[in-house]
A and B are shown apart, each in its own frame.
Chain A
Amino acid sequence: MDGLAFLIIKRLFYGLLTLLALSVIIFFMVELLPGDTATSLLAMGKTEETLAAMREQMGLDRPAVVRYFEWLGGVVQGDFGNSMVRGVHTSKGVSDMANVSVISIISERFMNTLFLATYAAVIAVPIAITLGVLIALLRNSVYDRIANVLTLTSISSPEFFLAYILILYLALKTGLFPAISTIKDDMTFFESLERTFLPALTLVLVCIAHMMRMTRAAIINLLASPYIEMAQMKGIPPWKVIVRHALPNAWAPIINVVALNLAYLITGVVLVEIVFVYPGIGQILVDAVTLRDFPVVQACCLIFATTFILLNLIADVVAIVTNPRLRHPK
C-alpha cells in the first residue's frame, strides 16, 4: 500500500506545484504591462505627486515578489483584491461604487456557471459513455461510420454556430424554449432548468461528440488486449467479456475522458454564456478583458485554471487507484 500512497502524494504535490506555477504566471504577466495600476487608474490629470501617493497607498512601491506573496495570501483566503473599473459589473444596473471587491462580483456568478456546467455534464456524460462503448463494439460497421461523420461535424462547429442554430430553430421558429437565459433568484429549480435548456444543450452536443470519440478509442484500445481474446476463447459471451474483463480495466481511460471533457465544459461555457446572455463568470471574464480590469481577469483565470487542474488531478488519482498493478504490489 505504501507505493500507492506515495504515488498519490507525489501526484498531489505535483498538482500543487502546477497551481503555484500558474499563479506566478497569472500574477507576473500583468506585472509585465508598461506602467502600473496606478498609472492606468490615474490616466487623466495625473501629477508625479498624486502618482507617488497612489502607489504608496496601493503598495506598488514595494518589490513585485512581496506583492505576489501578499496577493497569493489573499487569494487563498478568497480575497482577490478590488475591481479597477467602477461598478460596471454589478448585475443590478450600473452603480457608482468604486473599488468593488472582486470576490463579490464573481462569487454568485461562479455558482451560475457551475450550475450550467453541471446541468450539461449530467446529461452528456452518461449518454456519451454509453454511445461511445456501443460504437466501439460496433466498430467498422455502418453505424460506426455514421457516428464518425456526425461527431466530427459536431466537434468541427464553433459553439456559437450550434448555439445560434438552436436559438433559431428551437426558440425563434418553434418557440419551444426561451432564447435568452437570464435567471433570477426567485425562480424555482425547474424554471431555471427550462430557462437554461438551450445553453446546456449546446454544451451537451459538443461535449458528447468529443467524449464519444475518446471513449470509443479507449475501449477499442482495450479490446485489442490479449486477455480479452483469452476470455472470448473461454466461451464467455460478449456482454460478460465487457463487464468482467474490459470494464475493470476501463475505469482509468474513461475517467480520463470524463475529466478532460468536464474541463472542456468549464471553458466552453464562456462562449455559450455570451450567446445566451447567461449571467455566469464567463461573461464577466470577457467584459473584464475588454475593459482591461486586471484583478477580475486574474481571479477568473485562476478559477478556471484551478478547476481544470483539479479535474485532471482527480483523473490521475483515479487512474492510479484503479490500476491493479499498483493496488496489489508484488
Chain B
Amino acid sequence: MSIHEIVLALSLVGFFGYALVSKKRDFVWISSIGILLTLWLKFLGWTGTLQFFGILIEVIIVSAILSYLYRSFLILVLPEKLSKEVSTAPLTAAFGLLMITIYAFVGIFGPALAPYGEAEVIADAFAFRNEEMLLGADQIGRDFFSRLIYGTRNTVGLALAATLAAFVVGTIGGLLAATQGGRLDQIMGRIADVIMSIPSLIFALLLLSILGPKWWVLIIAVGIIYAPRVFRLTRAVAGNIVVMDYIEAAKLRGEKNSYLIRKEILPNVTAPLVAEFGLEFCFVFLLIAGLSFLGLGLQPPTADWGSMVRENATLITYQDSTPLIPAAAIALLTISVNFVVDWVLFRSSGLKE
C-alpha cells in the first residue's frame, strides 16, 4: 500500500468517526459512501484511482492549512476595517485570495523568477525534463517552465486589460443611461441587446478574422462583447437607485448630473460592480484562453497559456500531461476568483437585509 492510499484510508475513517461523534447525519452518509467506494475500488484493483484520491485529499488538506494561515496573516496585517471583513471569509475564499496573491506575484516579478528567457531556445524540441528544465522543453526547445511563468503576465495581463476596457465602457454607459433615461437609455439598451444576441466566441472570431489576431484587437473585441453585459448590470443596479427618493431630493435641490453620479449613485453601486468585475474577468479569461488555444490569441513568440496547450498537445498522445499545466493554471485562477466573488456576493447580499 502506498502512502497516498494510507492517507485516503485514514482520512475516511477519521471523517466517519468525526461524523459519528458530532452526530451529523449527512457526514455519516457521505463518509460511509466514501468508505464503501474505496473498498470496492480496492477490490477491483484500481490502485491508480485510489492513489489519485489520496493525493487529492492531501492537496485539499495542505491548501486548507495554507488558506487558514494566509487568512490569519491577512487579519494581522491589514488595517482594522479590512481585517474585520477578511475574518468572515470562508476557507474557500481565503484559498482564492491566496492564489490571486501568488498569481499577482508571479505576474509582476515573472522575468526575475524565470530561469530562462521567454523566447530562448535552449534544447531539442520536446526535450525531457531534467535539473535545468523543470518541465522539459516545448515544441521548439524553449524552457516550458520559464514560458509558463512569462505566460502569467501575458495571459492574465491581457485578460485584465480587456475586462477593464469592457468595464470602463459598460459602467459609464450604464450610469449615463440610468441618469439620463429617455431616448438615450432606449438606444443604448437596444444596441446592447443586439450585441448580446451574438454568442461571444463567435463575435470575437468575426472581429479577429477582420482585424487579424493582435493583442489590441483582442482588447477591443472583448471590450465590445462584454461592455453590454456590464452596461446591463450597471443600468439595473443604478436604475434601482435612481428611483430612490434621495435622488429625487437631490434633483429637486437643483444638483447637476455629475454630482448625482459621483456622490449619490457611485457609492451605492461599487459593491455589486466589484463582484461583477470578478465574474466578468472569469468569462473574459476563459474566452481569451479559448481564442489563444485556437491560435488566435497573442502571437508567437509571446508565451501564452492557451497556445502553449495547443502547441504541445502532441505530448498528450504520449500520455504526458505537461501541456495541461497551463490549462490547469487557467482553471485554478478562474476558480480562485470565483470563490472570492461568491463570498463577496454573499456578504453584500447578506448585509442588505
Measured CB to CB, the residues of A under 8 A from B are: 18, 21-22, 25-26, 29-30, 32-33, 141-143, 146, 148-149, 152-153, 155-161, 164-165, 167-168, 172-173, 179, 263, 266-267, 270-271, 274, 285-286, 288-290, 292, 294, 297, 300-301, 304-305, 308-309, 312
Which residues of chain A come closer than 8 Å to B330, judged between CB atoms?
157-158, 161
* 19 additional A-B residue pairs with CB within 8 Å, beyond A153-B335, A172-B317, A289-B208: A143-B26, A152-B335, A156-B282, A157-B330, A160-B293, A160-B306, A167-B316, A172-B319, A173-B319, A263-B199, A270-B201, A270-B202, A271-B201, A271-B290, A285-B205, A289-B206, A290-B296, A292-B209, A308-B197
Please, which residues of chain B bring their CB within 8 A of the CB of A289? 205-206, 208-209, 294, 296
Q: Count CB-based A-B contacts (< 8 Å).
A: 135
Whether A290 contacts B335 in the complex (CB less than 8 A), given A142-B27, A161-B328, comes out as no
CB of A29 within 8 A of CB of B327, answer: no
Contact: A25 with B194, CB < 8 Å?
yes
User: Which of B27, B206, B282, B321 gathers the greatest number of chain A CB atoms within 10 Å?
Assistant: B206
CB of A271 within 8 A of CB of B316, answer no
Closest to A141 in B: B26
* B residues with CB within 8 A of A: 24, 26-27, 30, 92, 193-194, 197-203, 205-210, 212, 282, 286, 289-290, 293-296, 306, 309-310, 313, 316-317, 319, 321, 323-324, 327-328, 330-331, 334-335, 338-339, 342
Query: A164 near B293 (CB under 8 angstroms)?
Result: no
* Pair A161/B327 contact, Cβ less than 8 Å: yes
Which of A142, A158, A271, A308 contacts B198 (CB under 8 A)? Answer: A308
In contact, A21 and B295 (Cβ under 8 angstroms):
no
Q: Are B339 and A308 in contact (CB under 8 A)?
A: no
A-B residue pairs in contact (CB < 8 Å), sample of 25: A21-B194, A22-B194, A29-B207, A30-B210, A33-B210, A155-B338, A156-B334, A156-B335, A157-B331, A158-B289, A158-B330, A159-B290, A164-B313, A164-B323, A164-B327, A167-B316, A172-B317, A286-B294, A289-B296, A290-B296, A292-B212, A301-B202, A305-B197, A305-B198, A309-B197
Contact A160-B327, Cβ < 8 Å, known A143-B26, A294-B209 = yes
Task: Identify the closest chain B residue to A312 (Cβ).
Answer: B197
**Closest partner residue, chain B, to A298 (CB atom):** B206
Give Cα A288 to B293, complex, Å: 16
The reply to whether B306 and A158 contact each other, CB–CB distance below 8 Å, is yes
Q: Which residue of B198, B296, B310 contacts A301 across the interface (Cβ within 8 Å)? A: B198
Q: Are A161 and B331 in contact (CB under 8 A)?
A: yes
Give min CB distance, A43 to chain B, whole Å: 15
Check B199–A266 contact: CB distance below 8 A. yes
Cβ distance A25 to chain B, nearest Cβ, rounded Å = 7
Residue of A nearest to B283 (CB): A155
Is A32 a contact partner of B324 (Cβ separation < 8 A)?
Answer: no
| B residues near A266, Cβ cutoff 8 Å | 199
Assembled-state Cα–Cα distance A267/B313 (Å): 22
Q: Which B residues are CB-close (under 8 A) to A141?
A: 26
Per the bound structure, the CA–CA distance linking A18 and B198 in Å amounts to 10
Q: Shortest CB–CB separation between residue A162 and chain B, in angstroms?
A: 9
Contacts of B309 in A (CB 8 A): 160-161, 164
Q: How far is the CA of A289 from the CA of B193 in the complex (A)?
A: 25
**B294 A271 Cβ-Cβ under 8 A:** yes
A285 to B208, CA, bound (A): 12
